Structure 1
Amino acid sequence: MNIKSFTVSSLNNYIKRSFDNDFILSNVYVKGELSNFKKHSSGHAYFSLKDEFSKINCVMFSEEVKRLKFHPKDGDGVEIKGRISLYLKEGSYQLYCNEMNLQGLGEVYLSFLKLKDKLEKLGLFNEINKKPLPKYPKKVGIITSPTGAALRDILNVTRRRNKLTNILICPALVQGQEAAKSMVKGIRKLNAIKDVEAIILARGGGSFEELNVFNDEELAYAIFESKIPIISGIGHETDFTIADFVSDFRAPTPSAAAEILIPKLEDILLYVESYKSKLDNSLKFQLYSSKTKVEALRKTLEYYNPKEYISNQYNHINMLINRCSNITEGKIKKEMDRISSLNQILNSFNPLNILNKGYSMITDSDDFIIDSVETLKNCKDIKITMKDGTVDAKLIVK
């Protein structure tokens, strides 16, 4: 029996006809959660519909999109009416949507919100618990897929910014059921290495389902309990995961995580040069200040040098001696002048000077002057003083 050989196109056409002719698949209602909803400039909408275990790619053309009564977004629970058909060019089947009705939030997104609320109440997202990133890390650990674009981006940024930074790659799964456990193991392994100063937890872009491995409770606690600060660079800027909320710093992309964590070598060198200049200026100022102080102390020591002090004191003593001599001589002269003046006065009033004129002075035996006849009559012994001497005499009164 000969079996007909298909071309790829003919096989895809056959499968497409099978889908289109199937009664159920041509008019089907499907419930699920919206993911990766994107509206094209043409007006068409492309997205995925998923549940806890599976997903299907969907397309809704612009005419049907215009009839929607709400604005679809990721995480919405919806019921879709449409048909299953094959996209010939890619050979993939998808759900072509005619109607979409809002059913609430999807189970996967609700699970994410529930865990987020729980961990937030426990304080795992609190800024107080965030560890600061090192300013100049010497060794950085990277937890990501060893074959992914995220690692290449991080390494490119690191080489460009600072080739001196040591990078320690800790390979881990970043998708699939074992991914969370693999990353938890990587965090604990890097924490056991003493000189690792920071950790980048990274993965490139992906759908909500692919990034959902970062919404794991055990991974969240491993990040929170890490002694080494962790910066997350997961997906794109619009993607948020539990790991982002718990990490010490959240970067919008893996490349941005490296940009934030790895300082430019040129900036470091400029910073060092700036401080070197400041240090030089500070040392020069300190030397000048110290020299000035030493010079002042030297002058003080010279001023208070014992030899200088003694010499200065000799001069001071001589000055005092001269001053005392001048004062004493002045006082002596002044007193001599006063005595001379008094002497002249005494001489002018000295009764003895009258004797030089031929007069004489009579005194009693006690040298009291006799100045009357009556006094004389009462004296027997008298003294007569003349200019050339004194003689004793007896008075005989008749």
Structure 2
Amino acid sequence: MAEIKYVTVGALTKYIKRKFDVDPHLRDLWIKGEISNFKYHSRGHMYFTLKDEQARIQAVMFAGYNQYLHFRPEDGMKVLVRGEISVYEPSGNYQIYVKEMQPEGIGNLYLAYEQLKKRLEAEGLFSPQHKKPLPAFPRYIGVATSPTGAAIRDIITTIRRRYPIATIILFPTLVQGEHAAESIVRSIEKANELGYIDVLIVGRGGGSIEELWAFNEEIVARAIFASEVPIISAVGHETDFTIADFVADLRAPTPTGAAELAVPHITELIERISQRRVRLIRAMKEKIAMESERLSRVQKSYAFRYPEKLYEQKEQQLDALLERLQRHTERMFDKQRERLEQLRLTLLRYHPAEQLSRMKEKQQSLAKTLEKEMRTIMHQHELRFASLVSHLHALSPLKIMERGYSLVYNEKKELVKSIRQLQIGDMIQVRLQDGQIDCHVWGMEEKQLHE
């Protein structure tokens, strides 16, 4: 019987969890539903069920995420949650791990807020490298807000208290409603057109997300990014964050905080100036005392009291230096003259005419040596030639013929050394000392050698 293959419950659950975790569609999604069975754990975690008319899903929101909620979830509340789907292995149930939660009524606004935020961040509008520094001592401070709201009163009060020498220029602006975004953009553009605004505060007091929505509009974000004037965003309360806050050069938690960030405190400036004035006076007194002491030392010095003595001493030193210079110059000229003479002699030694003369002498010497050697070699060869001639003469056939011998040649001019080379009737030629004889063979007689 074949062995049955199986998996454990734990292995199967782990496999299913892994499938959930790698699915990109389940990693980040929004779900709308009604809360039931809500439980707030003592450690700060929230456990609840999210349901609609057709199904339900278990949900958990850990303390690290729910601490930013602006409301307390309750059973029966309809919400919009964002999170990821995974499997809780001990029970094998799939559930959503919630990262954000908003009441259903404003869920669409939050979705639009998140989408715009991600897009603008990807374009680099939130990048720190685009943030402009605020001027340390602004003269003209622009404020783009409602002229009747509490925000402008707080800003004016704070600036007059902290930095009364600054001039506040109000740009009346709609900060909520259908045309608020266009009004904010116009105020920012007007502040840039004036050309002398040092810093611009854009904001309003707190409110609901709908009331603050104008500061989440894309045209407002792009107007803030394009502004040449540094902008401080002061929208709502400390916990309210808008798109304008991320794009602005600096975010203030409140309009009052924006005013404090825009200007220094004049009392602190006066104190700093006073401290620096005291430090400057002290430093100048110390410098004057030090230089006075130095002047006194100079006035009492030998050179200051008897300058002619110093001059005489320097005159003597100058004479000694001039003598040294003259001696050194003469030695240097002597050395250079010696070197020049050495170079001249060397040049003469290697001059082409001198080299040609030496080569001619060497050539004549070599020619004499060659002539002598040739005569010696010729004499030696003459002696050897005479010896060889004498030896050759002694071995010459002509010398033998002088003693009565002769040479016999056949018709082919071959030397006849044996009678076997001839036949009766052949013509032969006998060469003697003083000529030759043509003969006809009539007979032959063979004899033994040395007979």
The normalised TM-score by structure 1 is 0.52
Partner of 2:203: 202
Instruction: Give 1:106-145 correspondences, 5 Å limit.
Output: 106-145=107-146
Partner of 2:148: 147
Partner of 2:159: 158
**Do 1:172 and 1:183's aligned partners in 2 also have CA atoms closer than 8 Å?**
yes
Once the two structures are superposed, residues 217-259 of structure 1 have per-residue CA deviations (whole angstroms, 9 ceiling, x without a partner) of 1111111121221111100111000000111111111111112
Q: 1:122 to 1:274 in 2, by over 3 A?
A: same
Matched, 1:99 2:76: yes
**Do 2:132 and 2:230's aligned partners in 1 also have CA atoms closer than 8 Å?**
yes
Instruction: Give 1:209-288 correspondences, 5 Å limit.
Output: 209-288=210-289
Aligned equivalents of 2:267, 2:160: Cα separation in 1: 13
**Do 1:144 and 1:202's aligned partners in 2 also have CA atoms closer than 8 Å?**
yes
Q: Mean Cα displacement is larger for which, 255-264 or 147-156?
A: 255-264
**Do 2:174 and 2:184's aligned partners in 1 also have CA atoms closer than 8 Å?**
yes
**Do 2:201 and 2:231's aligned partners in 1 also have CA atoms closer than 8 Å?**
yes
What root-mean-square deviation, in Å, do the aligned CA atoms of Structure 1 and Structure 2 show?
Answer: 3.4
Q: What secondary structure does 1:209 align onto?
A: coil
Aligned length: 233
Aligned equivalents of 1:232, 1:79: Cα separation in 2: 40
Q: Mean Cα displacement is larger for which, 104-113 or 215-224?
A: 104-113
Q: How many angstroms does 1:214 deviate by?
A: 0.4
Aligned equivalents of 1:182, 1:65: Cα separation in 2: 40
Q: How many angstroms does 1:207 deviate by?
A: 0.5
Amino acid of the residue matched to residue 99 of structure 1? G
Q: How many angstroms does 1:68 deviate by?
A: 4.2
Amino acid of the residue matched to residue 249 of structure 2? D
Q: How many angstroms does 1:124 deviate by?
A: 1.1
Q: How many angstroms does 1:303 deviate by?
A: 4.8
Q: How many angstroms does 1:98 deviate by?
A: 8.1
Amino acid of the residue matched to residue 307 of structure 2? N
Q: What secondary structure does 1:135 align onto?
A: coil
Q: Could you list the runs of 5+ residues in structure 2 that have no partner in the other structure?
A: 1-30, 54-73, 83-106, 316-451
Aligned equivalents of 1:175, 1:148: Cα separation in 2: 11
Once the two structures are superposed, residues 336-357 of structure 1 have per-residue CA deviations (whole angstroms, 9 ceiling, x without a partner) of xxxxxxxxxxxxxxxxxxxxxx
Q: 1:135 to 1:148 in 2, by over 3 A?
A: same
Instruction: Give 1:159-198 correspondences, 5 Å limit.
Output: 159-198=160-199
**Do 1:202 and 1:232's aligned partners in 2 also have CA atoms closer than 8 Å?**
yes
Aligned equivalents of 1:102, 1:78: Cα separation in 2: 10
Amino acid of the residue matched to residue 306 of structure 1? E
Amino acid of the residue matched to residue 194 of structure 1? G
Q: 1:241 to 1:277 in 2, by over 3 A?
A: same
More strand as a share of residues: 1
Aligned equivalents of 1:136, 1:249: Cα separation in 2: 16
Aligned equivalents of 1:78, 1:222: Cα separation in 2: 42
Q: How many angstroms does 1:198 deviate by?
A: 0.8
Once the two structures are superposed, residues 305-335 of structure 1 have per-residue CA deviations (whole angstroms, 9 ceiling, x without a partner) of 1167669x9xxxxxxxxxxxxxxxxxxxxxx
State which of 301, 304, 307 in structure 2 corresponds to 1:302.
Answer: 304
Q: Could you list the runs of 5+ residues in structure 1 that have no partner in the other structure?
A: 1-32, 35-63, 81-96, 314-398
Amino acid of the residue matched to residue 284 of structure 2? L
**Do 1:145 and 1:203's aligned partners in 2 also have CA atoms closer than 8 Å?**
yes
Q: 1:78 to 1:118 in 2, by over 3 A?
A: farther
Aligned equivalents of 1:78, 1:274: Cα separation in 2: 68
Aligned equivalents of 2:80, 2:205: Cα separation in 1: 31
Aligned equivalents of 1:222, 1:170: Cα separation in 2: 15
Q: How many angstroms does 1:291 deviate by?
A: 2.4
**Do 1:162 and 1:262's aligned partners in 2 also have CA atoms closer than 8 Å?**
yes
Aligned equivalents of 2:160, 2:79: Cα separation in 1: 49
**Do 1:236 and 1:252's aligned partners in 2 also have CA atoms closer than 8 Å?**
yes
Q: 1:118 to 1:276 in 2, by over 3 A?
A: same
Q: How many angstroms does 1:205 deviate by?
A: 0.8
Aligned equivalents of 1:112, 1:142: Cα separation in 2: 25
Partner of 2:294: 293
Once the two structures are superposed, residues 353-377 of structure 1 have per-residue CA deviations (whole angstroms, 9 ceiling, x without a partner) of xxxxxxxxxxxxxxxxxxxxxxxxx
Q: What secondary structure does 1:142 align onto?
A: strand
Q: 1:153 to 1:66 in 2, by over 3 A?
A: farther
The percent identity for this pair of structures is 41
Aligned equivalents of 2:52, 2:149: Cα separation in 1: 35
**Do 1:68 and 1:100's aligned partners in 2 also have CA atoms closer than 8 Å?**
no
Amino acid of the residue matched to residue 107 of structure 1? N
Q: 1:272 to 1:98 in 2, by over 3 A?
A: closer
Q: 1:102 to 1:179 in 2, by over 3 A?
A: closer
Q: With a CA cutoff of 8 Å and minimum separation of 6, indicate the structure with the bigger relative contact order.
A: 1
Q: What secondary structure does 2:201 align onto?
A: strand
Q: What secondary structure does 1:119 align onto?
A: helix
Instruction: Give 1:302-381 correspondences, 5 Å limit.
Output: 302-303=304-305, 305-306=307-308
Q: 1:306 to 1:214 in 2, by over 3 A?
A: same
